[in-house]
């Protein structure tokens, strides 16, 4: 399936090979936790215990691997569990570079556990390769990238970083949750590991939680990730794996609409009074637009923007919407937004007046109308 178009792959990539006439088109949910041993003893490849392998998880890992053009995938019970597994491939004393603007869960994971794990961590601006190179140490073993970054939408030239890092024998990881494999395949640019919170666009309906790590190549790094998955047990349930496979079948068509709506809304927002600045890589005014255009097929469904009047105005805007819901998370069919710093807490480095908007699949004119009235309401209260 790897050489087919993404729309076909998403639909057929998780389906089981039909072994008989009149087989079901949609695979069932395999709830058994144990499997009968073959007579004569266990054979290589046989299923034994559902934490180790489960047909629904195997189907999910296969389609996720193919979507990202990887060699192997390991599915987890959440995005943060997948992120955790990647960092656990490192050894005591290793140094890691992480973007200065990054998903707050990743930042907090490092604050809480990096010292306990014996890791050295530096948060750096990754919009310039020179800054990344200057921050590297002799013990640097991993570079973690988000592009666009969460929540300020900074863009990193992933091919430039990968080319340089591999000369230094440094593993490069991209959290591709925001861009999705519809818009970019980091492995095409030499990235070693790709991470997703499958809760977001791949799930797409705000009704499941999951994560995945996809490796460019088979080898010791992916073996360690698989070991974390199996021995620590952070695996998705058969039902969650089945639900995610179901959602992935519509993912490419949903992603087209997310891309289209976000692009139109971002352009519209640049002309609205009350908005100080719009961050969207599809806009020519975005500082990373040229690089984004080279490495992305489209620019995603996320917009961040600054409002005039500071934190209080931003909170009023979020509270004044009628269609766009105030909620944390992203990637669902419904539009949601939040005053991001309130969610991240007092240690957040996000600007006080930033709103993070996940653009859904509602009609674009309804979204424009709701955005206008929310901003207007915030200015008059």
Q: Which whole number is the average pLDDT over 88-116?
A: 96
Distance of alpha carbon 1 from the chain centroid:
23
Nearest partner of 222 among 195, 240, 250, 260, judged by Cα: 195
Both tokens of 219, joined, read 């080898």
pLDDT for 251 = 98
- Name the token pair of 7: 């729309």
Q: Report which secondary-structure segment, H or E, holds 285.
A: none
CB 200 within 8 A of CB 194: no
Q: Which two three-digit tokens encode residue 381?
A: 């209260």
pLDDT digits (tens, 9 = 90+) for 105-137: 999 999 999 999 999 999 999 999 999 999 999
pTM for this structure? 0.95
Work out the pLDDT band at 291, boundaries 50, 70, 90: very high
Contact 66, 1 (CB under 8 A): yes
β-sheet with 325-326: strand ranges across? 275-279, 302-307, 354-358, 336-339, 325-326
* Complete DSSP assignment for 267-280: HHHTT-TTEEEEE-
State the pLDDT at residue 146.
98
Query: Across the chain, what does the average pLDDT equal?
Result: 95
Distance from CA of residue 366 to its chain's centroid? 27
What's the pLDDT at 38?
A: 84
Q: What are 129-184's pLDDT values in tens digits?
A: 999 999 999 999 999 999 999 999 999 999 999 999 999 999 999 999 999 999 99
Question: For the chain, which domains are there?
Answer: 6-248 (3.40.640.10), 252-380 (3.90.1150.10)
| pLDDT of 3 over the 70 cut | no
Q: What are the residues facing 354 on neighbouring strands? A: 306
Residue (of 179, 170, 106, 215) closest to 330 by Cα position: 179
Whole-angstrom Cα distance, residue 224 to residue 238?
A: 23
Strand (E) or helix (H) holding 203: none
**CA 216, chain centre distance (Å):** 17
Angle at the Cα of 329 (from 51 to 173), degrees rounded to 5? 60
């Amino acid at each position: 399936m790897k050489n087919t178009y993404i729309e076909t792959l998403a639909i057929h990539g998780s389906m089981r090979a039909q072994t008989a006439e009149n087989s079901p088109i949609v695979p069932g949910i395999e709830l058994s936790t144990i499997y009968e041993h073959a007579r004569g003893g266990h054979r290589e490849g046989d299923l034994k215990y559902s934490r180790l392998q489960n047909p629904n998880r195997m189907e999910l890992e296969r389609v996720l691997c193919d979507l990202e053009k990887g060699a192997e995938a390991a599915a987890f019970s959440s995005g943060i569990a997948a992120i955790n597994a990647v960092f656990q491939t490192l050894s005591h004393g290793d140094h890691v570079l992480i973007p200065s603007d990054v998903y707050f869960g990743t930042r907090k994971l490092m604050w809480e556990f990096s010292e306990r794990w014996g890791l050295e961590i530096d948060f750096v601006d990754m919009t310039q390769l020179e800054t990344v190179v200057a921050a590297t140490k002799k013990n640097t073993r991993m570079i973690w990238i988000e592009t666009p970054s969460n929540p300020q939408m900074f863009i990193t030239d992933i091919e430039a970083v990968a080319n340089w890092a591999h000369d230094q024998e440094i593993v490069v990881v991209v959290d591709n949750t925001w861009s999705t494999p519809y818009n970019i395949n980091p492995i095409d640019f030499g990235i070693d590991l790709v991470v997703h919170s499958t809760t977001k666009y791949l799930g797409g309906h705000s009704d499941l939680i999951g994560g995945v790590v996809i490796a460019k190549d088979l080898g010791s790094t992916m073996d360690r990730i698989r070991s974390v998955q199996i021995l620590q047990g952070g695996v998705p349930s058969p039902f969650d794996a089945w639900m995610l496979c179901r959602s992935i079948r519509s993912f490419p068509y949903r992603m087209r609409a997310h891309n289209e709506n976000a692009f139109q809304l971002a352009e519209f927002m640049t002309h609205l009074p009350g908005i100080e600045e719009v961050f969207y890589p599809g806009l020519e005014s975005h500082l990373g637009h040229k690089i984004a255009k080279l490495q992305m097929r489209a620019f995603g469904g996320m917009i961040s923007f600054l409002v005039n009047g500071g934190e209080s105005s931003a909170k009023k805007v979020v509270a004044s919407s009628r269609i766009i819901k105030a909620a944390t998370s992203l990637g669902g069919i419904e539009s949601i937004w939040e005053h991001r710093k309130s969610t991240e807490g007092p240690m957040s480095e996000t600007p006080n007046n930033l709103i993070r908007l996940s653009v859904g699949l509602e009609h674009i004119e309804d979204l424009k109308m709701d955005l206008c009235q929310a901003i207007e309401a915030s200015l008059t209260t």
